[in-house]
Structure 1
Amino acid sequence: MSDIQALLSALDVFSRAPDRVSLEKANAWLQDFQHSPEAWTTCNILLRSPDAPLAAKLFAAQTFRSKVTYDLHQVDPDNLFSLRDTIIAALEHYKIGPRTILVQLCLALSGLALQMPTWSGAVEGLIESYGQDASMVPVLLQFLTLLPEELTGNTKIPVTDQDYKERAELLLTANASRVLDILSIYIRAPGVTHAVQSQIFACLRSWLVVGEISAVALADTALFEFCFEALASEQLFDAAVDVVCDLIHETQEIDDNMPVIERIVPKVIELRPKLAAAKDDPEQTRGYARIFTEAGETYRLLVLHHTETFFPIVEAIGECSAYSDLDIVPITFPFWMRLAQSIGKRATVSPLFHDAYNRLMAVIIEHLHFPADSSALVGQELDNFRSFRHVMGDTLKDCCYVLGTEQCLAATLQVINAALSLGPNATWQDVEAPLFGMRSMGAEVDPMDDNIVPKIMDLIPTLPAHPRIRYAALLIISRYTEWINLHSDYIPRSLQYISAGFEDTDAEVLGAAGQALKYLCQDCKQHLVPFLAQLHTFLATVGPKLPQEDKLVVYEAIAHVISAMPMEQAAQSLRTFALDILAAVAAVANRTVPATKQELQDIGHGLANLEVMLHVVGGFGEELPAACQSTCEETWSMFETFITKYGSDYETTEHVTRVLRHGLNLFGNAALGVAPAVLLRMAASFKMTGLSSYLWIASKIQSRFGNEEDTILRTAFRVVYEESTEKLSTLLQEKSPSHIPDVLEDYMRMLLQMVDYSPDIFFESLAFPIAFRIALAGLTLIQSEIVFVSLDLIRIILNHDCLEPPANAPPPPKFPIYANAIRGVIDAEGFELTGLLLAGLVGDFPEEASSSIISIFRVLASQWSTQLVAWTPPVLQQLPSSVAPDDAKALFLKEITDSITMGQYDKVKYAVLGIHRTSRKIRERRRVTPLD
Structure 2
Amino acid sequence: MADIQAVLSAIDVFSRAPDKASLGQANTWLQDFQHSPDAWATCNVLLLTPEVPPAAKLFAAQTFRAKVTYDLHQVDPVNLPSFRDTLLAALERHHAGPRTIIVQLCLAIAGLALQFPAWNNAVQTMIDSFGRNPATVPTLLQFLTILPEELNNNNKIPITDDEYSERESQLLTANSKQVLELLSMYIQATGVTSAVQSQIFDCLRSWLVAGEVRATDLANTPLFACAFQALASDGLFDSAVDVICELIHETQEIDENMPAIELVVPQLIALKPSLATQRDDPEKIRGYARIFSEAGETYRMLLLQHPETFFTIVEAIGECSAYPDLDIVPITFPFWMRLAQTIGKKSSVSPLFLDAYRALMRVIINHLHFPPDSTPMSGQEADDFRSFRHVMGDTLKDCCLVLRTDICLLTTYQMITTALSRGPEAISWQEIEAPLFAMRSIGAEIDPSDDDAVPKIMDLIPSLPNHPRVRYAALLIISRYTEWVNMHPDYIGAQLQYVSAGFEDQDSEVCGAAGQALKYLCQDCKQHLVDFLPQLHTFLTSTGAKLVQDDRRQVYEAIAYVISAMPMARAAESLRTFSVDILAQIHAVTIKPTIISKEELLDIGNGLDNLEVMLHVIGGFGEELPPACQTSCTEAWTVLNAFLAKYGGDYDIADRTTRVIRHGITLFGNAALPIVPSVVARMSFAFQATVYPSYLWIAGKMIHRYGNEEDTDLRGSFQEIYERSTNSVVTLLQSKAPSDIPDVMEDYLRMLTSMVPSAPDIFFQSSAFPLAFRTAMAALTLVHTDIIFASLDLFLLILTHDCLNPQPSAPPPPKFPLYTSAIQAVVQKDGFQFLSYLLGGLVGDFPEDATSIVVSIFRAISVLWGAQLLSWLPSVLQQLPTSAAPQPAQAQFLSDVSRAVNEKQYDKVKYAILSLNRASRKARERRRTGAFDR
Partners of 1:128 and 1:14 lie apart in 2 by 38
Aligned to 1:545: 546
Q: How far apart are residue 13 of structure 1 and its match?
A: 4.3
> What's the CA shift string for 1:673-721, capped at 9, x where partnerless?
1001111111111111111111111111111111111111111111111
Aligned to 2:70: 70
1:53–1:499 CA distance, 2 compared to 1 (3 A): farther
% identity of equivalent residues: 65
Residue ranges of structure 1 left out of the alignment (5+ in a row): none
Write out aligned runs for 1:775-924 (5 A). 775-924=776-925
Residues 805 and 811 in structure 1, CA contact (< 8 A), matched pair in contact too: no
Aligned to 2:371: 371
State the secondary structure of the residue aligned to 1:255. Answer: coil
Write out aligned runs for 1:247-258 (5 A). 247-258=247-258
Aligned to 1:580: 581
Write out aligned runs for 1:32-181 (5 A). 32-181=32-181
Write out aligned runs for 1:326-365 (5 A). 326-365=326-365
Residues 405 and 446 in structure 2, CA contact (< 8 A), matched pair in contact too: yes
> What's the CA shift string for 1:744-780, capped at 9, x where partnerless?
1111111111110111111111111111111111112
Q: How far apart are residue 808 of structure 1 and its match?
A: 4.5
> What's the CA shift string for 1:388-431, capped at 9, x where partnerless?
11111111111111111111111111111111122111011111
The one-letter amino acid paired with 1:856 is I
Partners of 2:679 and 2:75 lie apart in 1 by 69
Partners of 1:637 and 1:144 lie apart in 2 by 79
Partners of 2:854 and 2:417 lie apart in 1 by 68
Residues 518 and 558 in structure 2, CA contact (< 8 A), matched pair in contact too: yes
Aligned to 2:715: 714
Write out aligned runs for 1:646-665 (5 A). 646-665=647-666
Partners of 2:911 and 2:381 lie apart in 1 by 54
Partners of 2:625 and 2:13 lie apart in 1 by 70
Q: How far apart are residue 16 of structure 1 and its match?
A: 5.2
Q: How far apart are residue 21 of structure 1 and its match?
A: 3.4
Aligned to 2:611: 610
Residues 405 and 445 in structure 1, CA contact (< 8 A), matched pair in contact too: yes
Q: How far apart are residue 736 of structure 1 and its match?
A: 1.3
The one-letter amino acid paired with 2:166 is E
> What's the CA shift string for 1:237-270, capped at 9, x where partnerless?
1111110110000000111111111111111111
Q: How far apart are residue 616 of structure 1 and its match?
A: 0.4
The one-letter amino acid paired with 1:269 is I
State the secondary structure of the residue aligned to 2:304. Answer: helix
> What's the CA shift string for 1:306-341, capped at 9, x where partnerless?
111111111111111111111111111111111111
Q: How far apart are residue 9 of structure 1 and its match?
A: 4.2
Aligned to 1:413: 413
Write out aligned runs for 1:590-605 (5 A). 590-605=591-606
> What's the CA shift string for 1:494-546, capped at 9, x where partnerless?
11111111111112111111111111111111111111111112122222222
Residues 886 and 923 in structure 2, CA contact (< 8 A), matched pair in contact too: no
Over the residues paired in the alignment, what is the CA RMSD in angstroms? 1.5
Partners of 1:111 and 1:201 lie apart in 2 by 23
Residues 148 and 206 in structure 1, CA contact (< 8 A), matched pair in contact too: yes
Write out aligned runs for 1:717-756 (5 A). 717-756=718-757
Establish whether residue 703 from structure 1 lines up as the match of residue 701 from structure 2: no
Q: How far apart are residue 930 of structure 1 and its match?
A: 3.1
Stretch moving more, 30-39 or 664-673: 30-39
State the secondary structure of the residue aligned to 2:907. Answer: helix
> What's the CA shift string for 1:848-874, capped at 9, x where partnerless?
222222222222222212211111111
Partners of 1:808 and 1:731 lie apart in 2 by 43
Determine which structure has greater relative contact order: mean sequence separation of CA pairs < 8 Å that are 6+ residues apart, divided by chain length: 2
Q: How far apart are residue 353 of structure 1 and its match?
A: 0.7
Stretch moving more, 221-230 or 371-380: 371-380
Write out aligned runs for 1:238-253 (5 A). 238-253=238-253
Aligned to 1:383: 383
Q: How far apart are residue 805 of structure 1 and its match?
A: 4.5
Q: How far apart are residue 44 of structure 1 and its match?
A: 2.7
Q: How far apart are residue 644 of structure 1 and its match?
A: 1.2
Write out aligned runs for 1:619-638 (5 A). 619-638=620-639
Partners of 1:545 and 1:893 lie apart in 2 by 69
State the secondary structure of the residue aligned to 1:674. Answer: helix
Aligned to 2:323: 323
1:6–1:649 CA distance, 2 compared to 1 (3 A): farther
Q: How far apart are residue 293 of structure 1 and its match?
A: 0.7
Partners of 1:838 and 1:508 lie apart in 2 by 52
Establish whether residue 486 from structure 1 lines up as the match of residue 487 from structure 2: yes
State the secondary structure of the residue aligned to 1:89. Answer: helix
Give the TM-score normalised by structure 1. 0.98
1:649–1:26 CA distance, 2 compared to 1 (3 A): farther
> What's the CA shift string for 1:184-227, capped at 9, x where partnerless?
11111111111111111111111111111100111121111111
Partners of 2:23 and 2:595 lie apart in 1 by 51
Aligned to 1:202: 202
The one-letter amino acid paired with 2:129 is S
Partners of 2:114 and 2:355 lie apart in 1 by 54
Q: How far apart are residue 176 of structure 1 and its match?
A: 0.6
Residues 47 and 61 in structure 1, CA contact (< 8 A), matched pair in contact too: yes
Partners of 1:836 and 1:499 lie apart in 2 by 59
Partners of 2:808 and 2:288 lie apart in 1 by 77
Aligned to 1:506: 507
Partners of 2:872 and 2:668 lie apart in 1 by 51
Partners of 1:349 and 1:195 lie apart in 2 by 47
The one-letter amino acid paired with 1:795 is L
Aligned to 1:533: 534
Q: How far apart are residue 931 of structure 1 and its match?
A: 4.0
The one-letter amino acid paired with 2:726 is T
Q: How far apart are residue 20 of structure 1 and its match?
A: 3.9
Residue ranges of structure 2 left out of the alignment (5+ in a row): none
> What's the CA shift string for 1:812-866, capped at 9, x where partnerless?
2111111111111111111111111111111111112222222222222222122
Partners of 1:12 and 1:472 lie apart in 2 by 61
Aligned length: 932
Aligned to 1:233: 233
Partners of 2:629 and 2:809 lie apart in 1 by 50
State the secondary structure of the residue aligned to 2:97. Answer: coil
State the secondary structure of the residue aligned to 2:734. Answer: helix
Residues 721 and 767 in structure 1, CA contact (< 8 A), matched pair in contact too: yes
Q: How far apart are residue 78 of structure 1 and its match?
A: 2.4
Partners of 2:52 and 2:901 lie apart in 1 by 55
1:186–1:554 CA distance, 2 compared to 1 (3 A): same
State the secondary structure of the residue aligned to 2:255. Answer: helix
Partners of 2:319 and 2:809 lie apart in 1 by 80
Partners of 1:21 and 1:620 lie apart in 2 by 62
> What's the CA shift string for 1:316-370, capped at 9, x where partnerless?
1111111111111111111111111100100011111111111111111111111
Residues 780 and 788 in structure 2, CA contact (< 8 A), matched pair in contact too: yes
State the secondary structure of the residue aligned to 1:450. Answer: coil
The one-letter amino acid paired with 2:252 is Q
Stretch moving more, 481-490 or 366-375: 366-375
Partners of 1:516 and 1:463 lie apart in 2 by 17
Partners of 2:53 and 2:508 lie apart in 1 by 57
1:21–1:530 CA distance, 2 compared to 1 (3 A): farther
